Amino acid sequence: MSDHAPPAPSTETSSAAHGADDDLLVLIEDDGDVIASPSITHNAWQILVVDDDADVHQATDMALRDLLIEGRPLYIHHAYSRQEAFALVQAHDDIAVMLLDVVMESEDAGLQLVGEVRHKLGREALRIVLRTGQPGYAPELETIRNYDINDYRTKSELTRVRLFTSLTTALRAYRQMRTHEQTRRGLEMVVRASTELSKLHGMQLFAEGVVNQLCALLGMRPEGLICAQAGLENSGDPARVIAAAGHYGELIQRPLDELGIPSVQAALEQCLRERRSLFAQGMVLYFATSDGRGLAAYIDHPDDLPPLDRHLVEVFCSSMSAGFENVLLYGRLVDQAYVDPLLRIANLNQFLQQLSRLTVAPTPLTVGVLDIDGFTSINDMLGHEFGDNVLRAVSTRLHDGLGPHCHIARISADVFAALGPSQEVSGDTLQHLFSTPLQVSGQSVRISVTIGLVRLDEHEERGPDLLKDAHLALKRAKLQQRGSTCYFSEEMGHAARARMQLLNSLRAATGSPQLFAVYQPKVDLQTGQAIGMEALLRWRQPDGTMVPPDQFIPVAEQAGLMMVLGTFVMHNACTQLKRLHDMGFTELTMAINVSQVQLREPDFIPLLANTLAETDVRPDAVELEITESMAAEDINLIRRRLEEIRALGLTVAIDDFGTGFSSLSVLRHLPAARLKIDRSFVAELDRDVSIARMVVNLGHSQGMKVIAEGIETEAQRNTLLALGCDEGQGWLYGKPMLPNDLVTWLQGNLHH
């Protein structure tokens, strides 16, 4: 412990302290040729003196008064105990050197302080010079090495010149270490910037990192930063602050002409206009980009740079321009990935991100999906430019009509999505938004929207699953009525999951024995003799459960499996017909159902011809059945395709006749040889024969044979005979059978 009186309170003074006693002048003898200067605190080296002896503090002040080291003055902080010193180091991250007494309130107080500064505060750059008034006390070499102690001296050794030399060495080491630290931080920020998804955030980090590196190279501290670019979105856009740091941080996104700092604004505008760096009244650096929309970065640095440093800065700016351009390019790519290019609102990707990041909200939320009814017709009749303007008007109506807490997005061509509080994103609110006409290109346009909604408080899913359920509700709304609204329910979810499970099972069954063809006989109603059969697809699951065709056929059509399944049935049916012909049943025909998907397939006719050739079956014995509704949907295409089928030698039948809405017009334009009465009309023959009679008469008037399906009773047969129906099929004659069972039935029928 020191032999002096208890220490005075902690103080901070400049190096202009006066009044050292004469008996302490031993510390300032040997003046040599040290350069002195008036006391200055700006840009000063920060020095901390730690000693429990007030006289040592005064003597150190006098020894360091008016000194310049590396062209910079000194500023002295004072602490009289380990605790006071620790607090000062913690409060000032720019203290460069600590002149530390080893022995204070305890013999190892100084070394304890060193350990705390290094390990607790992590101040690796801070240089430490140990001083002791007890020449016999010296720390171990291991201690000096472990704690990174810069120098160790007895107080009597530290004359003015020696103290100056020791400080100079320490400050040079400190500056080098801080430069490395600053450079490392700058590089880390640049690396972080390259991974940022947000354009502005990434640019801010990159700009800050560049300036930190530059300031580290020049040995100065960045006091403030403003980075501006003109034409951020379009070449004619005004300059805007895209990055800011320090006390300018609040200016991000502000237009340059609203900066409120005339001198800075003028400097940035001049830099962008002249496309060069400026070094008067601060430093404004220019970073060129290939599209001509360069960036200007203002650095709040009051001192003039010497010519050599100016050259270094200009070279640095030139080399970093490519980095700025990469960040801008990345930002544009992010923009394209997450922003709708036409409407400048969120797209599907961004909306899915928002749904995936949802957390528990203080108020219930709802997701809505809005489909513009008849938008394709608007595009076709009025042109795509007008259609784009309609989309813009819809986006504006949603943006203005919904509250600030709602998010909107365009998730497909004419489908929008909204996310927000349930009282705002509701069926009534959204429908009311479109109850008045839109103003589009000077015209009033009235549109309607069909909406599917999902209440999040009733739904556990998030992200894509949430949007899928909103689309399920939208689909249900479309089935109900155009311009209607439907909320998602668990029943819809169960049905959708069951449908998906059925589809997955069907995919697995395709190409396996689970799918097979059966054949139901067709007979002449007068004689009861077999004239042919109809091929039907069946599905038996591994557990033996039969899946009805009216369940899996619609799923197959929507999933794109009908070409595969249709080809399978066609090949098996033709093979079976060839087998029957070879067995002597030469007059039999085979009816095969064809879906609309198959008829629309460009390769259908070549595939059909190839099947006929492979199975070597007579084309005139094969009949393809299409439904009336298929033909009515695109009669011109279907008519052309049926002509191609007839050209191969096959015949055509119209199935389910009378269930559609265009029976007469369809029948007149289709080259069909047979008309089929739907089973639903056969089932009503005991109550109403009018439709069956109409079909029979209509078919005969067009020169067609008429066949009824679903005949189950003799009474139905007799009624159909009385109406003049030619042929029939149903359980009264035979159920759908496997090939071997069919042969047995045919053999019995011939002997009937």
Residue 404's pLDDT is what? 86
CA distance 614 to 607: 10
Phi-psi region of 42 (alpha: psi -120 to 50; beta: other; left: phi over 0): beta
Whether residue 302 is found in the same domain as residue 416: no
Say whether pLDDT at 487 is over 60. Answer: yes
**CATH number of the domain enclosing 27:** 3.40.50.2300
Whether residue 99 is found in the same domain as residue 156: yes
Residue 14's pLDDT is what? 43
Residue 139's pLDDT is what? 60
CA distance 78 to 61: 10
Q: Is residue 499 domain-resident? A: no
- Please say which residue of 297, 314, 338 terminates a domain: 338
Is residue 409 within 8 Å of residue 351, measured between CB atoms?
Answer: yes
Residue 330's pLDDT is what? 75
pLDDT digits (tens, 9 = 90+) for 378-436: 888 889 999 999 999 999 999 999 978 899 999 999 999 999 999 999 999 999 999 99
Residue 735's pLDDT is what? 94
Token pair recorded at residue 52 = 């429990």
Q: Is residue 557 domain-resident? A: yes
Q: Residue 122: what are its φ and ψ, rounded to 5°?
A: 65, 30
Lowest average pLDDT, out of 1-15, 40-54, 190-204, 271-285, goes to 1-15
pLDDT grade for 4, boundaries at 50, 70 and 90: very low
Lowest average pLDDT, out of 161-175, 195-209, 281-295, goes to 195-209
- Three-state SS annotation for 158-181: CCHHHHHHHHHHHHHHHHHHHHHH
Residue 607's pLDDT is what? 93
Q: Residue 449: what are its φ and ψ, rounded to 5°?
A: -130, 145
**CATH number of the domain enclosing 736:** 3.20.20.450
pTM of the full predicted structure?
Answer: 0.51
Average pLDDT over residues 27-48: 56
Whether residue 28 is found in the same domain as residue 154: yes
Average pLDDT over residues 575-592: 95
Residue 633's pLDDT is what? 66
Say whether pLDDT at 536 is over 90. Answer: yes
Q: Is residue 185 domain-resident? A: no
Whether residue 332 is found in the same domain as residue 362: no
Residue 11's pLDDT is what? 43
Whether residue 132 is found in the same domain as residue 207: no
Residue 719's pLDDT is what? 95
Average pLDDT over residues 190-206: 51
- Three-state SS annotation for 522-559: EEECCCCCEEEEEEEEEEECCCCCEECHHHHHHHHHHH
Q: Is residue 304 domain-resident? A: yes
Average pLDDT over residues 616-624: 95
| Among 205-209, 257-261, 330-334, the range of highest mean pLDDT | 257-261
Task: Tell me how many domains the chain contains.
Answer: 4
pLDDT digits (tens, 9 = 90+) for 560-573: 888 999 999 999 99
Count CA within 13 A, CB hemisphere, residue 508: 9
**CATH number of the domain enclosing 223:** 3.30.450.40
Residue 135's pLDDT is what? 57
Whether residue 21 is found in the same domain as residue 134: yes
Whether residue 98 is found in the same domain as residue 212: no
Partners of 590 in the β-ladder: 533, 622
Residue 74's pLDDT is what? 92
pLDDT digits (tens, 9 = 90+) for 208-243: 777 777 776 666 666 666 777 765 555 566 788 877
Is residue 658 within 8 Å of residue 695, measured between CB atoms?
Answer: yes
Q: Is residue 548 domain-resident? A: yes
Mean pLDDT of the chain: 82
Q: Is residue 148 domain-resident? A: yes
Whether residue 281 is found in the same domain as residue 390: no
Average pLDDT over residues 722-750: 93
Q: Give the DSSP per-residue string, 319-354.
A: HHHHHHHHHHHHHHHHHHHHB-TTT-SB-HHHHHHH
Whether residue 64 is found in the same domain as residue 127: yes
Say whether pLDDT at 347 is over 90. Answer: yes
> Which of 272 and 610 is assigned the larger pLDDT?
610
- Please say which residue of 277, 311, 338 terminates a domain: 338
Whether residue 119 is found in the same domain as residue 173: yes
CA distance 518 to 676: 19
Average pLDDT over residues 719-725: 95
Residue 255 DSSP one-character state: B
For the chain, how big is the Rg over CA atoms in Å? 45
Q: Is residue 396 domain-resident? A: yes
Residue 197's pLDDT is what? 32
Q: Is residue 2 domain-resident? A: no
> Which of 86 and 638 is assigned the larger pLDDT?
86
pLDDT digits (tens, 9 = 90+) for 433-463: 999 999 999 899 999 999 999 998 877 777 7
- Three-state SS annotation for 51-107: CCCHHHHHHHHHHHCCEEECCEEEEEEEECCHHHHHHHHHHCCCEEEEEEECCCCCC
Strands (E), 686-748: 705-709, 727-729
pLDDT digits (tens, 9 = 90+) for 79-122: 999 999 999 999 998 899 999 988 888 888 888 898 899 889 98
Average pLDDT over residues 610-630: 90
CA distance 725 to 526: 9
Is residue 629 within 8 Å of residue 602, measured between CB atoms?
Answer: no
Whether residue 484 is found in the same domain as residue 510: no
Q: Which domain holds residue 560?
A: 506-750
Residue 693's pLDDT is what? 93
- Please say which residue of 282, 308, 338 terminates a domain: 338
Whether residue 162 is found in the same domain as residue 286: no
